[in-house]
Chains A and B, each alone.
Chain A
Amino acid sequence: MRDALRAFLRHPSGLIGLVILLAVVAVAILAPLLFPDSPWDMAGAPFRPPLTPDLPLGSDTLGRNIAAGIAHGARVSLTIGIASTLAALGIGVTIGILAGYFGGRVDDALMRFTELFQTIPSFVLAVVLVAILTPSIATIIGTIAIVSWPPLARLTRAEFMSLKTREFVEAARCQGESALAIVGRHILPNALSPIIVTGSLTVASAILLESALSFLGLGDPNLMSWGFMVGAARTVIRQAWWMSVFPGLAILLTVLAINLLGEGLNDALNPRIARKRG
């Protein structure tokens, strides 16, 4: 573990990612203290440009404070990103374990099922699902999970296929350990690091997906999210660039940070792959 930490710290990019992400998390946690009023409050005159007193990043079409929106939006993006990834991991890893461990017909059936999901374009599916289920934070998390799990399932399956024939697994099986114990105690821990790395990247794409849905007007209407802010400001971009630019930058930075962190983790946790990647 210490090696892994050292390997991680050796990579400046992973560290940069971590620092940015910590900053975003800090903003998200401190949002209610930094901006105690609701981000939906009309805090000043509409269409104020950045650097107006009390409105460091300007105000939007209804006079809402963009800085407050970005701070509160950080909570939404991170919550949805993490929650939907956890849900996707739940589905994907379970299916991957079943397919990879049992193989044969179970594997066949599950993989056909996975392929089916991969054949329908995921963003189209997401748009339709959210529209049908009506947008709310729960349906958005569920939808993102539903379109994100197939790669995780395939990864887990591949890891399990290769690990289940290893000696230590055979040994455990000979000692009469139950399938559950073998999976839980022996295979899963060894398959964990690529799953963690892919999972972290899934958080990034989940945040992007959520922002795109909100941009199209399919976000939770009660939550001030970054994608919503860009979408709502799109129509006035000629008059007011700041309304779209700042929330977009927030998405960019956060996703970038998570990707950098994911790469750093990858290099640290999967030294074998890391070496191959140079």
Chain B
Amino acid sequence: MTGILAAVGARLAKTVAVILLIATVNFMLVHAAPGDPALVIAGQSGATDQKFLDTLRAEYGLDRPVAVQLGTYLGKVVRFDLGFSYRQQRPVLDLILERLPATLLLTLTAFSLALLGGTMLGLVAGTRAGRWSDTAVTIVSLVLYATPIFWLGLILVLIFSVRLGWLPAFGYETVGGGMTGFARVLDILRHLVLPAATLGFFYLAVYARLMRASIIEVSHQDYVKTARAKGLTETQVIRRHMLRNALLPVITIAGVQAGTLVGGSIVVETVFAWPGLGRLIFEAVIQRDYPVLLGIFLVLSILVIAFNILTDILYRIVDPRIGAVR
């Protein structure tokens, strides 16, 4: 028991260290940028003088040495305070939390569809290697894999919104529609279809190909051959012996990608005007909103780490050979 606790503790300590390191690297990176948020704000006010700029810089803390700014920042991060966006006059954490649900809805939908669909397709293709269904899956996934996400999104809009008029082309819900309850949920779901499909298709292709390769590899293993020799039906062999083992590499890759999916959603959110973190990142970059940029960076990195840990756990559940906690 103490062993487990020690292992968990060590892991946590390591995670915190990594997060602080990332925070430092991000801070340096973002501050290496040429450009001055005070000038941006002054610029948008349409007039400026030295006094005004000095006031703004003092407000941002930009008049202090970089080392001091870094120290202040890290001190706040430890206390879960991600700072204040003077551009938007709001705490960064609020801004991020406000956008997070939309992004999670989009990415998790896309991700689950891709994972589910991908493994199914991969399974079909892998167990029927060389037949027409395999060829079809392979071709489709190769093409999807090579399609730029933003372009796929536009093509889907062109077909399903512009040409057929079935689905809304952009947005999260109907603006000012005044819908509540179930009608609103339905409205959001209708808006979700195209962006989730766009983001999901690419990953679907990845998992289909991975699962196919994995199934084929597993099917050559001795224990599978033995199972077949014992006279089990093909379905039994697949379910009892192949599926679990074939899923392992898929889970590994999926775990790594789940965190990066949010990054990938920058493009999709731009195409579909989806009000999530991806757009917030892009806006923050353009406006040089340091606190927001640093905050999102950190949250995304934490997401990636969380997904990695989750993958480890999942891995242990699926893989019979690995013990509880190393």
User: Of B30, B129, B151, which is within 8 A of A248 by CB?
Assistant: B151
Q: Mark B260-298, 1 if CB is under 8 A from A, else 0.
A: 101110110011000000000110011000000100110
Rounded to whole Å, the gap between the CB of A182 and the closest CB of chain B is 32
Residue of A with least CB distance to B256: A118
Judged by a CB distance under 8 angstroms, whether B42 is at the interface is no
| A122 contacts B148, C-beta separation under 8 Å | no
Q: DSSP class of A's interface residues: helix, strand, loop or mixed?
A: helix
Within 8 Å of chain A (Cβ to Cβ): is B145? yes
Does the CB pair B293–A252 fall under 8 Å? Answer: no
Taking a contact as CB atoms under 8 Å apart, the answer to whether A119 and B155 are in contact is no
Q: CB < 8 Å: which of A119, A123, A237 contacts B154?
A: A237
Closest residue on chain B to residue A212 by CB atoms: B267
Option from A116, A121, A245 in Cβ contact (under 8 Å) with B300: A121
Closest to B278 in A: A124
Q: Once the chains bind, are A121 and B216 in contact (CB under 8 Å)?
A: no
Digit string of B230-259 for contact with A (CB within 8 Å is 1, else 0)? 000000000000000000000000001001
* Pairwise interchain contact A256-B263, C-beta atoms closer than 8 A: no
Task: Tell whether, in the assembled complex, residue B285 and residue A255 are in contact, meaning their CB atoms are under 8 Å apart.
Answer: no
A90–B130 CA distance with the chains assembled, in angstroms: 38
User: Are A131 and B285 touching (Cβ within 8 A)?
Assistant: yes
Interface flag for A230 (CB, 8 Å): yes
**Neighbour of A122 across the interface among B18, B142, B263, B267, CB < 8 A:** B263
Does B322 touch A at the CB level, under 8 Å? no
Which residues of chain A come closer than 8 Å to B219, judged between CB atoms? 278
How many angstroms between the C-alpha atoms of A234 and B155 in the bound complex? 10
A244 within 8 A of B: yes
Contact of B263 among A115, A124, A234, A253 (CB under 8 A): A124
- Residues on B with beta carbons closer than 8 Å to the beta carbon of A277: 213, 216-217
Contact present for A124 and B300 (CB under 8 Å) = yes
Contact A212/B259 with A120-B301, A244-B154, A277-B213 known, Cβ cut-off 8 Å: no
Number of interface residues of A (CB under 8 A): 42
Contact present for A123 and B266 (CB under 8 Å): yes
Docked Cα-Cα span, A215 to B129, in Å, equals 37
Query: What's the Cα separation between A253 and B262 when bound, in Å?
Result: 26
Q: By the criterion CB–CB under 8 Å, are B25 and A116 in contact?
A: yes
Closest to A275 in B: B220
* Pair B142/A116 contact, Cβ less than 8 Å: no
Q: Which residues of B contact A123 (CB under 8 A)?
A: 260, 263-264, 266-267
Report yes or no: B263 in contact with A121, Cβ–Cβ below 8 A.
yes
Cβ-defined contact, B263 with A230, below 8 A:
no
Q: Pick from A121, A134, A230: contact of B262, CB below 8 A.
A: A121
Report B-chain residues with C-beta under 8 Å of the C-beta of A256: 142-143, 145-146
Most chain A CB atoms below 10 A, which of B151, B263, B296, B297: B151
A251 within 8 A of B: yes
Contacts of A129 in B (CB 8 A): 29
Please indicate the chain B residues that have their CB under 8 angstroms from the CB of A122 in the complex.
Answer: 260, 263
Q: A216-B266, A245-B155 are known contacts. Are A234 and B147 too (CB-CB below 8 A)?
A: no
* Structural contact, A212 and B149, CB atoms closer than 8 A: yes
A227 CA to B285 CA in the complex, in Å? 20
A119 adjacent to B29 (CB under 8 Å) = no
Residue of B nearest to A134 (CB): B34
Report B261 CB to chain A, min CB distance, Å.
8
Given contacts A248-B148, A248-B155, 14 further A-B pairs with CB under 8 A are A122-B260, A123-B267, A124-B297, A127-B285, A128-B285, A208-B148, A216-B267, A227-B148, A234-B150, A234-B271, A248-B147, A252-B143, A260-B142, A276-B217
Between A and B, 8 residue pairs with Cβ closer than 8 Å are A119-B22, A121-B264, A132-B33, A244-B158, A248-B151, A248-B154, A256-B145, A276-B216
Which B residues lie at the A interface, using CB under 8 A?
18, 21-22, 25-26, 29-30, 32-34, 129-130, 142-143, 145-151, 154-155, 157-158, 162, 213, 216-217, 219-220, 256, 259-260, 262-264, 266-267, 270-271, 281-282, 285-286, 293, 296-297, 300-301, 304-305
Q: Which residues of A does B touch, CB under 8 Å? A: 115-116, 118-125, 127-129, 131-132, 134, 204, 208, 211-212, 215-216, 227, 230-231, 234, 237-238, 241, 244-245, 248, 251-253, 255-256, 259-260, 276-278
